[in-house]
């Protein structure tokens, strides 16, 4: 009893002395609370409301694009923030927005002039001017916490406001892709312009949440946000409608419903809610689920209608990446042997019902890239290196040459250890393809297993042994950005984290030299094409990673209340149909009522 | 009940909370996963996030959250936070604080799980008592049987079946969410009934899956109690059936069930994780699941501590209540 009382007394002392220890966290950032409307929201009929299903996990109240790490554009913030320009992938054109033009003013791509739309304005009535653009660019350049800091630091020399609606940007080195890659929003990349008159007043811009009050240029105001949903109302004074860029949207309210869990979870219930017309659209689905949805509700369609593959080509083609600095994955023969064990035709047949989805490229075959791969030079390379080949005998020969022998279990082994071909992947999005890959590899004698654990991404970043099923979110118009993923300057050594998804850690001075020569050239330059062919040759010859599939976004569009979703038959705004992408605002504002 | 006893029980409560907090502190630390790094990795994966030097930014945030301090110092800071019920910021959902996240999610969990656990307890024990009571008509005894059969069925499966049949096919009840899409929580009757409608299917899946356990255990107790001398004596005295059932039979059979009930409340969050996921309820279970997946240990600490304190407090309260239920303990 005495010892017990002493123990308790010690705890009590802790309570008394506690104030002498420093607080665990001394940050005084304004923690966001729920966003509750001051008065009841006006009723908006269902046929003027779009209801979207999404796994909302960002902190409530974070709407500031510079709030790091809380902000994500994917959870409705694209309805509030706008860029200088958008890019419509299926129309293959720029859509000028806050800027009417962005033009390089010299031949070596070291100077860019931006002209702003004089009618652009923030939701508090303050005009969007060159000051905002300068503030946005300089912020990205000087604040190392901001998402595009690396790109601005590398390329941007000076940013000047010539007048209220003209900005001049000078680059340190030729930057032919800066306008597209950084300043134009498409898919998940590109930067929005932020309000100088608001963020310049913050002591720490990355700690400022924003809430519902932050002035924004986009068409929708955030009016409510809690753990269940986010509600946006169309603001009648949206500048883009007044400027004639777009007709007044028919969608007066957007509700993003939190479907819970991590992205890709609970999709069966989501599917049911789509079929029951509770949702107009939701996160993309696996083929078996979307097929069922289409069968049960004839009002639901997809990018390809009710025909396989039910989706559009996304910008994230997946490969089996490996850590090329880690033995034995550092041996190109081993990597090639793995590739030879993959039957891509069978993948198309089994997983995609015959649709040609498997790939041999680290980039999606959008028009610009399709034109590149259809050239005779690339065809010749394909003939020479046979990247699509499926040949178990050749795979076995390469493994034998690399010093492996099959053990008593029929698995490739060296020095008593099998070659670890565990595939680290994400269950929510890879549950259909990865088991097929694992089986193929196993048949070829590779010790394959599946890792869908919560820290799979961490293992990829740490360069763990095994294979990583992951995409290449890079190229859209020309192959440079995809190849740049393998540039040696990004290849972290073993023991460090592979930043920004550059998991291969590939180091090849010859490859780097080719890319360095490509960097300052426009894709129209014949020399660029020649160098791109060379880079692709090295990619295939070295088998830097093992390309598997193009990525499909199988998104269900419920036409019960809304039509004009982007499909193969209907271009709409020319963008992809993902409402969570940077171009999501264009998808929603172009919807038309079905008449119900 | 003496003051000394009360003091001892309270001190024991403190010790339980301290032990639980200590174990909870160290368990996530065995993993080398870094919640901050994972959040940035997710941002890079989904948003083209390409800051200058990711390691530098992660180091800066780690310093901000005190993760660069020696483990013993982090532990002491953590204990101090426990005493003040301040668990700081969520690593994965910064700048939301842990308390904020729990406040946002707790009402849904309490509303659903507390109510269903109590209902399941009451219903299950009543059915179990009636099932064992010899004077019950056969049809009353038969009611318990389906619940016993369902006892082996996990709530998740019951939930999925209910969703499909009642929500999807018949469209009698909502398919998910805590309330209707577009509704703003308020204190009106309309919102109250809307919430109730949305809780029916999740509640049913929990009750149907767990009531059987109470039925079985109560029935077992009931069979034992019925053979006791005092019950026989009450019958021979000519007391009414209802009085014997309530005062002699049920009251004595219920005693161990009350203890089990307190323990059951501690396990509700396990059920919550699954049921809240299926029905997209923004409760503590969903929050805990996401926190575990992201190794967001401040949130894990907050939730686990909250459950520990709640259960330990309940156990202490049960101890104080027991003498009211059982005069024999009062005498001791």
Q: Which of B33, B61, B171 sits opposite A276 (nearest CB)?
A: B171
> What is the CATH number for B289?
1.10.3720.10
**Cα separations (Å) of A371 from A368, A473, A547?**
5, 19, 19
Q: Can you tell me the distance from the alpha carbon of A46 to that of A50, in angstroms, rounded to the nearest whole number?
A: 8
Q: Which of B79, B175, B290 sits opposite A14 (nearest CB)?
A: B79
B167 touches chain A (CB under 8 A): yes
Please give the helix or strand (H or E) that residue B21 lies within, else none.
Answer: helix B3-29
Q: Can you tell me the distance from the alpha carbon of B281 to that of A170, in angstroms, rounded to the nearest whole number?
A: 51
B151 touches chain A (CB under 8 A): no
Q: CB neighbours (10 Å) of residue A201? A: 9
Confidence (pLDDT) at A19: 41
Confidence (pLDDT) at B51: 54
Kindly state whether residue B185 falls inside one of the protein's structural domains.
yes
pTM metric for this prediction: 0.87
Kindly state whether residue B4 falls inside one of the protein's structural domains.
no
DSSP letter for B248, please.
Answer: I
A125: burial class by Cβ within 10 Å (0-12, 13-18, 19+)?
exposed
Phi, psi of A422 (to 5 degrees): -60, 130
Among residues A239, A195, A241, the alpha carbon closest in space to that of A216 is found at A195
Kindly state whether residue B22 falls inside one of the protein's structural domains.
no
Q: Can you tell me the distance from the alpha carbon of A318 to that of A361, in angstroms, rounded to the nearest whole number?
A: 9
A515 touches chain B (CB under 8 A): no
Cross-strand pairs, A470:
A319
Q: Please name the residue of chain A whose CA is at the shortest distance from the CA of residue B278.
A: A266
User: B319 pLDDT exceeds 60?
Assistant: yes
User: A456 pLDDT exceeds 90?
Assistant: no
Number of structural domains chain B divides into: 1
Confidence (pLDDT) at B136: 82
From first CA to last CA, the distance across chain B in angstroms is: 9
Least confident of A145-149, A167-171, A525-529, B40-44: B40-44
Q: Can you tell me the distance from the alpha carbon of A319 to that of A317, in angstroms, rounded to the nearest whole number?
A: 7
Among residues A74, A78, A47, the alpha carbon closest in space to that of A252 is found at A47
Least confident of A385-394, A490-499, A516-525: A490-499
Are the C-beta atoms of A214 and A197 separated by less than 8 Å?
no
Q: Starting from the edge strand earliest in sequence, which strands make up the sheet with A156-163, in order?
A: A99-104, A111-116, A166-171, A156-163
Q: pLDDT band at A263, cuts 50/70/90?
A: low
Among residues A247, A303, B2, the alpha carbon closest in space to that of B10 is found at B2
Are the C-beta atoms of A320 and A423 separated by less than 8 Å?
yes
B170 touches chain A (CB under 8 A): no
Give the pair of three-digit tokens for residue A500: 């920004």
User: Would the CB atoms of A257 and B171 count as touching at under 8 Å?
Assistant: no
SS3 labels along A44-77:
CCHHHEEEEEECCCCCCCECCCCCCCCCCHHHCH
Kindly state whether residue B2 falls inside one of the protein's structural domains.
no
Q: Which of B51, B163, B292 sits opposite A146 (nearest CB)?
A: B51
SS3 labels along A232-283:
EEECCCCHHHHCCCCCCCCCCEEEEEECCCCCCCCHHHHHHHHHCCCCCEEC
Q: Can you tell me the distance from the alpha carbon of B267 to that of B290, in angstroms, rounded to the nearest whole number?
A: 18
What is residue A343's three-state secondary structure?
A: coil
DSSP letter for A499, please.
Answer: G
CB contacts under 8 A, B 26-85 vs A, are 31, 33-34, 36-58, 60-61, 64-66, 74, 76-81, 83-84
Q: Can you tell me the distance from the alpha carbon of A410 to that of A404, in angstroms, rounded to the nearest whole number?
A: 11
Q: CB neighbours (10 Å) of residue A444? A: 24
Kindly state whether residue B83 falls inside one of the protein's structural domains.
no
CB contacts under 8 A, B 106-125 vs A, are 108
The residue among A265 and B146 whose pLDDT is bigger is B146
Are the C-beta atoms of A514 and A526 separated by less than 8 Å?
no
Are the C-beta atoms of A471 and A495 separated by less than 8 Å?
no
From chain B, pick out residues whose CB is under 8 angstroms from the CB of A34: 104
Q: pLDDT band at A24, cuts 50/70/90?
A: very low
Q: Please name the residue of chain A whose CA is at the shortest distance from the CA of residue B100.
A: A33
Are the C-beta atoms of A351 and A499 separated by less than 8 Å?
no
Q: In this predicted model, what pLDDT tens digit does every residue of A572-587 receive, in sequence order?
A: 999 999 999 999 999 9
Q: What percent of chain A has pLDDT over 70?
A: 93
The C-alpha of A401 sits at a distance from chain B's nearest C-alpha, in angstroms, of 36
User: A177 pLDDT exceeds 90?
Assistant: yes
Q: Which residues contact A213 (CB under 8 A, 6 or more apart)?
A: none
Please give the helix or strand (H or E) that residue A557 lies within, else none.
Answer: strand A557-558
Q: Which residues contact A532 (CB under 8 A, 6 or more apart)?
A: A372, A478, A479, A480, A483, A518
Confidence (pLDDT) at A262: 67
Residues of the domain holding B279: 106-295
User: Would the CB atoms of B175 and A269 count as touching at under 8 Å?
Assistant: yes
Kindly state whether residue B314 falls inside one of the protein's structural domains.
no
Q: In this predicted model, what pLDDT tens digit does every residue of A392-426 receive, in sequence order?
A: 999 999 999 999 999 999 999 999 999 999 999 98
Please give the helix or strand (H or E) that residue A420 lies within, else none.
Answer: strand A420-424
Q: Can you tell me the distance from the alpha carbon of A142 to that of A154, in angstroms, rounded to the nearest whole number?
A: 11
The residue among A225 and B13 whose pLDDT is bigger is A225
A295 touches chain B (CB under 8 A): no
Are the C-beta atoms of A574 and A90 separated by less than 8 Å?
yes
Q: CB neighbours (10 Å) of residue B330? A: 11
Q: pLDDT band at A335, cuts 50/70/90?
A: very high
Q: Please name the residue of chain B whose CA is at the shortest distance from the CA of residue A22.
A: B77
B162 touches chain A (CB under 8 A): no
Mean pLDDT of A190-216: 95
Q: Can you tell me the distance from the alpha carbon of B34 to that of B92, in angstroms, rounded to the nearest whole number?
A: 10
**Cα separations (Å) of A373 from A162, A189, A364, A365, A533?**
42, 24, 11, 8, 9
Kindly state whether residue B303 falls inside one of the protein's structural domains.
no
Confidence (pLDDT) at A499: 61
What is residue A147's three-state secondary structure?
A: coil
Give the pair of three-digit tokens for residue B31: 């993993």
Among residues B264, B231, B233, the alpha carbon closest in space to that of B250 is found at B231
Q: Can you tell me the distance from the alpha carbon of A574 to that of A72, in angstroms, rounded to the nearest whole number?
A: 23
- Angle in degrees, CA A353, A354, A359, rounded to 5: 115
Give the pair of three-digit tokens for residue A272: 């049911």
B240 touches chain A (CB under 8 A): no
**Cα separations (Å) of A484 from A136, A530, B52, B111, B176?**
25, 16, 16, 52, 44
Q: Which residues contact A11 (CB under 8 A, 6 or more apart)?
A: B14, B15, B18
Q: Can you tell me the distance from the alpha carbon of A423 to that of A546, in angstroms, rounded to the nearest whole number?
A: 12
Kindly state whether residue B40 falls inside one of the protein's structural domains.
no
Least confident of A126-140, B134-148, B255-269: B255-269
The C-alpha of B232 sits at a distance from chain A's nearest C-alpha, in angstroms, of 44
Are the C-beta atoms of A440 and A343 separated by less than 8 Å?
yes
Q: Can you tell me the distance from the alpha carbon of A306 to that of A403, in angstroms, rounded to the nearest whole number?
A: 50
What is residue A187's three-state secondary structure?
A: coil
Q: Are strands A49-54 and A281-282 parallel, antiparallel or unpaired?
A: parallel
Please give the helix or strand (H or E) that residue A472 lies within, else none.
Answer: none
DSSP letter for A127, please.
Answer: B
Q: In this predicted model, what pLDDT tens digit does every residue of B243-282 receive, in sequence order?
A: 888 888 888 888 888 878 877 776 766 777 778 888 888 8
Confidence (pLDDT) at B1: 58
Confidence (pLDDT) at A501: 75
- Report the interhelical angle of B297-325 vs B284-294 (nearest 10°): 140
Could you identify the residue written with the tokens 């706008």?
A: A82
């Amino acid at each position: 009893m005495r010892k017990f009382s002493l123990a308790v007394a010690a705890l009590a002392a802790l309570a008394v002395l506690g104030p002498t220890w420093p607080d665990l966290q001394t940050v005084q950032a304004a923690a966001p609370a729920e966003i509750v409307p001051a008065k009841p929201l006006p009723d908006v009929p269902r046929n003027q409301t779009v209801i979207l299903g999404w796994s909302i996990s960002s902190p409530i109240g974070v709407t500031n694009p510079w709030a790091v790490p809380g902000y994500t554009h994917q959870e409705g913030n694209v309805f509030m923030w706008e860029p200088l320009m958008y890019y419509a992938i299926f129309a293959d054109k720029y859509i000028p927005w806050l800027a009417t033009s962005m033009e390089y003013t010299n031949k070596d791509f070291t100077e860019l002039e931006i002209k702003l739309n004089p009618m652009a304005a923030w939701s508090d009535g303050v005009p969007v001017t060159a000051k905002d653009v300068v503030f946005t660019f300089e912020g990205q350049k000087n604040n190392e916490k901001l998402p595009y800091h690396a790109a601005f630091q590398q390329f941007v020399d000076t940013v000047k406001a010539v007048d209220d609606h003209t900005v001049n940007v000078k680059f340190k080195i030729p930057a032919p892709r800066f306008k597209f890659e950084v300043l134009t929003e498409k898919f998940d990349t590109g930067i929005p312009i932020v309000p100088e008159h608001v963020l310049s007043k913050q002591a720490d811009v990355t700690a400022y949440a924003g809430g519902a009050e932050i002035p924004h240029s986009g068409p929708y105001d955030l009016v409510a946000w809690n753990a269940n949903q986010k509600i946006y109302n169309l603001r009648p004074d949206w500048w883009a409608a007044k400027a004639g860029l777009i007709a007044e949207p028919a969608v007066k309210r957007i509700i993003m419903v939190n479907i819970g869990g991590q992205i890709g979870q609970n999709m069966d219930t989501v599917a049911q809610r789509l079929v029951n017309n509770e949702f107009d659209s939701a996160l993309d689905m696996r083929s078996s689920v979307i097929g069922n949805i289409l069968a049960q509700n004839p009002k639901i369609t997809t990018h390809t209608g009710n025909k396989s593959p039910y989706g559009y080509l996304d910008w994230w083609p997946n490969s089996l990446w490996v850590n090329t600095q880690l033995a034995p994955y550092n041996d190109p023969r081993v990597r090639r042997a793995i590739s030879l064990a993959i039957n891509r035709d069978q993948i198309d047949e089994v997983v995609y019902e015959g649709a040609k989805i498997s790939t041999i490229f680290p980039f999606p075959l959008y028009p610009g890239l399709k034109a590149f791969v259809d050239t005779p030079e690339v065809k010749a390379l394909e003939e020479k290196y046979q990247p699509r080949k499926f040949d178990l005998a050749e795979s076995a020969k390469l493994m034998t040459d690399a010093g492996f022998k099959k053990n008593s279990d029929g698995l490739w082994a060296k020095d008593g250890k099998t070659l670890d071909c565990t595939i680290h992947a994400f269950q929510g999005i890879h549950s259909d393809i990865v088991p097929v890959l694992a089986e193929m590899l196993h048949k070829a004698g590779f010790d394959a297993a599946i890792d869908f654990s919560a820290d799979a991404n961490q293992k990829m970043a740490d360069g763990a042994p095994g294979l990583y099923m992951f995409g290449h979110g890079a190229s859209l118009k020309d192959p440079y950005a995809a190849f740049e993923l393998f540039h040696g300057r990004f290849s972290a050594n073993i023991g460090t984290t592979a930043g920004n998804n550059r998991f291969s850690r590939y180091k090849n001075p010859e490859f780097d030299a080719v890319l360095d020569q490509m960097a300052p050239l426009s894709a129209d330059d014949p020399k660029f094409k020649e160098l791109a062919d060379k880079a692709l040759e090295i990619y295939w010859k070295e088998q830097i990673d093992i390309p598997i599939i193009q990525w499909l976004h199988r998104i269900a569009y419920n036409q019960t209340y809304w039509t004009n979703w982007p499909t193969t038959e209907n271009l709409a705004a020319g963008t992809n149909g993902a409402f969570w992408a940077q171009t999501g605002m264009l998808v929603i504002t172009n919807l038309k009522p079905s008449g119900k | 009940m003496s003051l000394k006893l009360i003091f001892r029980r309270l001190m024991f409560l403190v010790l339980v909370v301290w032990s639980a907090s200590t174990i909870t502190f160290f368990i996530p630390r065995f993993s080398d996963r870094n919640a901050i790094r994972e959040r940035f990795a997710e941002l890079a994966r989904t948003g083209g996030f390409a800051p200058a030097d990711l390691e530098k930014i992660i180091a800066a945030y780690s310093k901000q959250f005190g993760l660069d301090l020696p483990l013993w110092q982090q532990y002491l800071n953590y204990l101090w936070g426990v005493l003040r019920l301040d668990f700081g910021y969520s690593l994965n959902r910064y700048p939301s604080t842990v308390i904020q996240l729990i406040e946002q999610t707790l009402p849904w969990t309490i509303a659903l799980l507390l109510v269903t656990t109590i209902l399941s307890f009451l219903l299950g024990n009543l059915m179990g008592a009636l099932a064992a009571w010899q004077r019950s008509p056969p049809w009353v005894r038969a009611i318990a049987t389906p619940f016993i059969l369902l006892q082996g069925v996990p709530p998740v499966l019951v939930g999925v079946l209910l969703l499909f049949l009642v929500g999807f096919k018949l469209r009698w009840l909502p398919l998910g969410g805590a309330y209707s899409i577009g509704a703003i929580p308020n204190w009106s009757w309309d919102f109250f009934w809307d919430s109730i409608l949305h809780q029916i299917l999740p509640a049913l899946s929990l009750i149907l899956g767990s009531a059987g356990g109470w039925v079985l255990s109560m029935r077992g107790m009931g069979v034992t109690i019925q053979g006791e001398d005092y019950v026989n004596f009450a019958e021979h005295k000519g007391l009414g059936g209802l009085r014997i059932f309530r005062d002699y039979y049920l009251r004595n059979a219920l005693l161990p069930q009350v203890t089990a009930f307190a323990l059951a409340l501690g396990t509700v969050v396990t059920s919550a994780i699954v049921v809240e996921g299926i029905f997209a309820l923004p409760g503590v279970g969903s929050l805990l699941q996401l926190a575990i997946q992201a190794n967001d240990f401040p949130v894990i600490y907050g939730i686990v501590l909250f459950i520990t304190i709640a259960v330990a407090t309940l156990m202490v309260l049960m101890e104080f209540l027991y003498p009211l239920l059982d005069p024999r303990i009062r005498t001791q």
